[in-house]
Every structure is written in structure tokens, then in C-alpha cells.
Chain A
Amino acid sequence: MQTTIRFIVNRLLKMLFTIWLVTTIIFFLIRLMPSNPIDRYIETQMVQYGLGAEEAKAQASFLFSMDLDQSLLEQYGAYLLKVIQLDFGNSLLSPGVPVMSIIAERLPWTLFTVGSGLLLSFVIGISAGALLAYRRDRWYEPVVSGVSSFLSSIPDFLIAIFLLILFGVVTWGGGNPILPIDMLRGNYSIGVTPGWNLAFLTDAFVHGLLPILTYAISQVGIWVLLMKGSTISTLSADYVTLAKVRGIKPRRILTAYVGRNALLPISTEFAMRLGFIIGGSLIIEQLFVYQGIGLELLKATSGQDYPLMQGIFLIMTIAIVVSSFLAEIFYAVLDPRIKATKGAIT
């Protein structure tokens, strides 16, 4: 029990340390870099609009939600305090709108597409992987493995381009492409009101279809290969062989003996990936013009909306850190061996 608590506390501290470090790096970038955005802003205001130094500074303070009259250390302290409250100030591009509310609006869409895509690929991938492990002597084993290795290698945005062409551009002999691609931009069609009704949900699904498919296809290969490897090593474990010798039915062996043990190491990978794909959503969302957090980051970057940029970047980091934290805890809960102390010396 004590080791479990120590384990959790340990991971928690590491998580906080990571978030703190990233925050600090961002503060450094925004505030201390030579030609950092705040100094640049003040300069621009003074040179272009002829504002006085104090006035420009006051404006910058307001815009970046930082009190520039304070010492750097105080600014840093105040900044950290705000970050803890998830207050990243206001967006520069849409003045007066808090960064957090933009994130709150965009993040669910990314989570929705990335999450569904990942889930879809996971379900298909582990089923196929387990099947391949069982049917290692069939002709399709090398074929499926090869395709999986191919899919897991190529960049996800290239898959997105293929899908775009396949569904949205090529007419396949008919008059129109399969999907009306320009109607599918954005998260949902104009005129549909968001809410828990069928019309909206269907619409949201259709709009998210291509991103979801992209995530699913680009991840599925990895799951197949991971699950295949994991299952093969589990299948050769003594306890599985012994289960067979005990005359236990194949289905029971698959679920109680092979399944759980093979899935264990992979389940952590699932949580980790969730965090990382959110980071990788930038290009996909740009390609499909999907209004998620990735697209917002790109907009913020090109528009030099620093508060928004740092907010989104921090949220993405937190997503990764939290999901890998959860993954480790999850693993520890599922695998009784983790809790055992390793103290034996021979």
C-alpha cells in the first residue's frame, strides 16, 4: 500500500514538474528572449503610433495580462499563479475574449475527432493483431503485417491527402465526388444548432468523418503490430499453454489468459498516444479546415497571438502529461505485479 502511494506521489510530482518547466520556458520565450513579443509590441507602438513609453507599456501590460512595472521575478510569480488558475489572459486577435474560452470551445472538437479515431483504430487494430498472432501460418499474415507496417510508417497528413482526393475530389466516373468536401469544412453545418439532438450529432459526425478516418488509418497499423507482438509473446507463455492442457475452452483462454495479459502493456500506449495525437492534429485540421485546437494554434501563430499560442501549447502539454500519468496509474491498477516490491537479492 505504501509503495502504491509513493508511486502515485512520485508520478504526480513529475507531472507537476513537467508542467512547471513548460510554463517557465514559455515565460522565458515571451518575456526574456531578445526581441521578445512584448518588447517588440512596445517598440512598434512607440515607433509607428507615436505613443509614449509609459503608455505603450501600459497597453502591452493590458494586452499580455502582465504587469510590466513589476520586477521580472514578480511578473514570473504572477504568471505562474495565473497559469495555475488556467487563466492565460485575453486573445490578441479577438480582443476581450479570454484565451481559455477559445480553448474550451475548440478543444472538445479535437478531442472528439482524435478520440473517436484512436478508439476506432484501437478496436480494429487489436482485434486484427490478436487474430494475426493466432493465425501466424496463414497466407494473409504477412500481407496484413506488411500493410500495417506500411500504414504505421507513412505520415498521417499524407493519409489525409489521399482521403481528401479519394472522397472529395475524384468523381469516380459520376458527376460528383463521394463527399461534398467544401460543405464539410468546419465542425458542423451552418444552420444546425449545437445540442444533444440527432440532427446535430449526425452532422457533427459527417463533418468529423475524414479527420476521424485519418487518425484511425494512421494509427491502426501500430495497434496491429503491437498487439500481434504482445499476443505472440503471451501465447508462448507457460500459463497459456497450461490453460490449453487443462482443457479450458479456447474462448475462455482468449479472454481470461491471453487477452488481458496481451492488452496490458498496450493499454498504456493507448493513453500516451491520445496525448500525442492531439499535438499532431495541427496539419490534419488545417487540411480539412476543421475548427479544432490545432487549427487554432496555427491561426494564433500566423496572427502572432501570443497569449493564445501559449495557452494552447500548454494545454497540449498538459494533455500529454495527464494522459501518460493516467496510463501509468491504470497499468499499476491492472497489473498486480507492479505493486510488488523488488527487494530480493541473491
Chain B
Amino acid sequence: MKNLLEVHHLSKDFQHKRQPPVSILQEIQLQLGKGQTLCVVGESGCGKTTLGRVLAGLLPATTGTYSFLGKDVTRLSKKEKKEFRRDVQLIHQNPYESLNPTTMVFDILANPLRKHKKMKTIAELYPEVTRLLELVGLTPVSDFVDKYPSHLSGGQRQRVSIARVLAMDPKLIVVDEATSMIDTSLRINLLKTLQEIQERTNVSYFFITHDLALGRYFAQNQQLMVMYLGKIIEKGQTEELIGQPLHPYTKAILSAAAGNKGLLDESSEFETYVLGGTDIPSFTQIPQGCPLHPRCPQKIEGLCDRLRPPEIESTTGHYVACHLYRKSDSPL
């Protein structure tokens, strides 16, 4: 099966006035198939949102290739660009900012329909708007169509955002921390709605979160990857990655997440793994070699602080960027 999107050696630099460029994304490699989910987990400031925005076409990559449906995104014709624009959608983190406060829910959904499906009259639009709202579970529909966003709760707004995205019939949705501002009791329902939509429409998700357990839940039997300081340090099938974490950083965040949950997560037994130091270094001072080495308890002197670890496939489909897993025969 051909992949929906392929990303090779993608890097993204930001340059502030008169300051040296800062590399936010480095050598990103990833693939995502149709109807599949790829979840990226990382702490705030690891570059995961930037990656999401690059994939959504909101930011250009500095180097590397990004192809969508087999076509290089930087070399699309005008028509293809328009198609790409519609095929890839993004759901923002903050539902209080992502809906125009002066637009009624009906119009929020009708605007893209008018533009892309050439629906004009309300008689044409109404059934489609109803369908979309029902799809995201905002029923009875009549309670919502004539509301302004300020009358909706955070969860309801986020559902409207999802409906608006679905109006475009996208092939890929970048979900950027879409549930982090939603109450716990409502969160799972929202994720379930997203999963149901995937079953129905075969859409792919690029799911961004800082919550390992949430990512683990959403990307069941799918792919999970962990980012640290702009690099993908480990990726693989979700259950495999959680069950057999390889990278010291992955081990540390798993240990932290599991430790914190304690009683909540009785059956889980994760090795306790603690990193040194407390704060993530800033992007302007990324350590040489492996970015984790100053905090890593297993660092190899003379190797980790000098050489950037390559991406190593430890078992099939499970990649890790760490010198500890270097095959003896591979060159340095």
C-alpha cells in the first residue's frame, strides 16, 4: 500500500532577527498510511507542534522532502496545491480561539460547503450541516445551529471544530493537543468520536499530545513516536514501544507517567528510570552529539557527547536513535 505521507530528512530552522538560525526540527523521518494514526508524544517545546504545522502545510520545511500521496509538496501545481490544502486539515488546541466569535455554528460549517461543494441555498446546505453535526455528536442539531461559539462549552466547540474540518473531506487531520483543554470526563468521548470518524471515513490522524497515556490510548495498535529537542528519538508500534521502551528518554517519561499514576494504573509495571538534571535545554543550546547526553545515566563517554546517534531499527518497525543499540558491525 502506498503511504499517504512520506517525510524524509526533514528539518526546520527558525531565524530571529540578527540571531543565528535555531533548528527546531532535525532529520525527521516518518510515514503514515491511509486510515492510520501516528501519535507523537513529547514535552512542551520539543518541536511537536512545529512538526504538525509543517505537515499541515502551514510552515515550509527548511530542508528534506515531504511528499503527500506520492507528490512532493514543495513542487505541486496550482491545482494540486489547492487539493493538498483541502486534503490536510488541522484541529487547534484551543477551542476558545479557533472559532470565529462573530459567526454562527451554521455558517461556520456552511462556509466551506459553499466554497467547496458549491452548495448555495439553505435547503441544500441544511442536510449537510445536520449530517456533520450528527457525525460529531452535537445532537439535537437544532440546539446548535443558531448558536454563537460563546454559547458553547469547550467540548462542544471542539466538536464544532472537528465538524468544520470534516466538511472538507480531508485525508489527513493533524490533531494538535485537541483535548488538553477539555475536562477529563469529556475527553474520552471526544477521542472516541475521532476514532469513529476514522472508521467511517478512512481519514488518517497525526495526533500530537504531551500525555503519554492519552497517546497510548488513541494510537492503540497504531504507531507512536517520541520527540525530544526536535528529534524523533524512538518510534514504533504503540504496544511494542510502551512494552519495550528502548531509548533512555522514553524509559524516563514512561517511568514518570506510570509512577505518577501509581494506584490508578495498578497493573502496570514499569522500570523506574530517572534522568539527571531538571530542565530541557533551550533550542539555542542543543547539546552536541546526542541531545540527551547531559541528562542520560547510560551515556557512553566520548561517543554520546560527540556523535549524533543514527536511527537504528532494533526490531522490525521499532526505531530508536541511541548509541546503546548500535549494531556492532555498523560504522560510527
**A contacts B directly (C-beta below 8 A):** yes
Is chain A's binding surface mostly helix, strand, loop or mixed?
A: loop
Q: Are B49 and A344 in contact (CB under 8 A)?
A: no
Q: Are A346 and B284 in contact (CB under 8 A)?
A: no
Q: Are A344 and B44 in contact (CB under 8 A)?
A: no
Which residues of chain A from 303 to 346 have a CB within 8 Å of any chain B CB?
A: 343-346
Stretch at the interface among B14-22, B62-70, B78-86: B14-22
Taken residue by residue from 125 to 139, chain B's Cβ proximity to chain A (1 for < 8 Å, 0 otherwise) reads as: 000000000000000
Chain B contact residues, CB within 8 Å of chain A:
14, 16, 19, 22, 24, 44-45, 49, 282-284
- In angstroms, how far is the closest chain A Cβ from the Cβ of B231? 16
Show 12 residue pairs from A and B whose CB-CB distance is below 8 angstroms, ordered by the A residue. A343-B16, A343-B19, A343-B284, A344-B282, A345-B14, A345-B16, A345-B22, A345-B24, A345-B283, A346-B44, A346-B45, A346-B49
A343 to B19 CA separation, bound complex (whole angstroms): 9
Given the complex, which residues of A lie within 8 Å of B283, measured CB to CB? 345
Q: Which residue of B lies closest to A342 (CB)?
A: B16
Q: Which residue of A lies closest to B16 (CB)?
A: A343
A344 to B283 CA separation, bound complex (whole angstroms): 8
A343 to B282 CA separation, bound complex (whole angstroms): 10
Sorted nearest first, the 9 A-B pairs with minimum C-beta distance are A345-B14, A346-B45, A343-B16, A345-B22, A343-B19, A345-B24, A345-B283, A346-B44, A343-B284
Q: Which residue of B lies closest to A343 (CB)?
A: B16
Is chain B's binding surface mostly helix, strand, loop or mixed?
A: mixed
Given the complex, which residues of A lie within 8 Å of B44, measured CB to CB? 346
Given the complex, which residues of A lie within 8 Å of B284, measured CB to CB? 343
Given the complex, which residues of A lie within 8 Å of B24, measured CB to CB? 345
Given the complex, which residues of B lie within 8 Å of A346, measured CB to CB? 44-45, 49
Given the complex, which residues of B lie within 8 Å of A344, measured CB to CB? 282
A345 to B23 CA separation, bound complex (whole angstroms): 10
Name the residue in A343, A344, A345 with the highest tally of chain B Cβ atoms < 10 Å from its Cβ: A345
A346 to B42 CA separation, bound complex (whole angstroms): 13
- Cross-chain pair count, CB within 8 angstroms: 12
Given the complex, which residues of A lie within 8 Å of B49, measured CB to CB? 346
Given the complex, which residues of B lie within 8 Å of A345, measured CB to CB? 14, 16, 22, 24, 283
Given the complex, which residues of A lie within 8 Å of B16, measured CB to CB? 343, 345
Q: Which residue of A lies closest to B14 (CB)?
A: A345
A23 to B284 CA separation, bound complex (whole angstroms): 45
A265 to B242 CA separation, bound complex (whole angstroms): 51
A343 to B285 CA separation, bound complex (whole angstroms): 12
A344 to B22 CA separation, bound complex (whole angstroms): 10
- In angstroms, how far is the closest chain B Cβ from the Cβ of A117? 42
Given the complex, which residues of A lie within 8 Å of B22, measured CB to CB? 345
A312 to B72 CA separation, bound complex (whole angstroms): 65
Taken residue by residue from 73 to 89, chain A's Cβ proximity to chain B (1 for < 8 Å, 0 otherwise) reads as: 00000000000000000
Given the complex, which residues of A lie within 8 Å of B282, measured CB to CB? 344
- In angstroms, how far is the closest chain B Cβ from the Cβ of A305? 48
- In angstroms, how far is the closest chain A Cβ from the Cβ of B302? 32
Given the complex, which residues of A lie within 8 Å of B14, measured CB to CB? 345
Taken residue by residue from 18 to 55, chain A's Cβ proximity to chain B (1 for < 8 Å, 0 otherwise) reads as: 00000000000000000000000000000000000000
A343 to B14 CA separation, bound complex (whole angstroms): 10
Name the residue in B16, B19, B49 with the highest tally of chain A Cβ atoms < 10 Å from its Cβ: B16
Other contacts beyond A343-B16, A344-B282, A345-B283: 9, CB < 8 A: A343-B19, A343-B284, A345-B14, A345-B16, A345-B22, A345-B24, A346-B44, A346-B45, A346-B49
A344 to B45 CA separation, bound complex (whole angstroms): 10
- In angstroms, how far is the closest chain B Cβ from the Cβ of A278? 36
A63 to B169 CA separation, bound complex (whole angstroms): 78
A345 to B283 CA separation, bound complex (whole angstroms): 8
Given the complex, which residues of B lie within 8 Å of A343, measured CB to CB? 16, 19, 284
A53 to B284 CA separation, bound complex (whole angstroms): 71
Q: Which residue of B lies closest to A345 (CB)?
A: B14
Given the complex, which residues of A lie within 8 Å of B45, measured CB to CB? 346
- In angstroms, how far is the closest chain A Cβ from the Cβ of B30? 21
- In angstroms, how far is the closest chain A Cβ from the Cβ of B272? 30
Q: Which residue of A lies closest to B284 (CB)?
A: A343
A343 to B24 CA separation, bound complex (whole angstroms): 13
Q: Which residue of A lies closest to B282 (CB)?
A: A344
- In angstroms, how far is the closest chain A Cβ from the Cβ of B280? 11
- In angstroms, how far is the closest chain A Cβ from the Cβ of B34? 31
A106 to B19 CA separation, bound complex (whole angstroms): 50
A238 to B237 CA separation, bound complex (whole angstroms): 44
- In angstroms, how far is the closest chain B Cβ from the Cβ of A345? 5
Q: Which residue of A lies closest to B49 (CB)?
A: A346
A149 to B24 CA separation, bound complex (whole angstroms): 49
- In angstroms, how far is the closest chain B Cβ from the Cβ of A336? 20
A345 to B24 CA separation, bound complex (whole angstroms): 8
A216 to B52 CA separation, bound complex (whole angstroms): 56
Q: Which residue of A lies closest to B45 (CB)?
A: A346
Q: Which residue of A lies closest to B17 (CB)?
A: A343
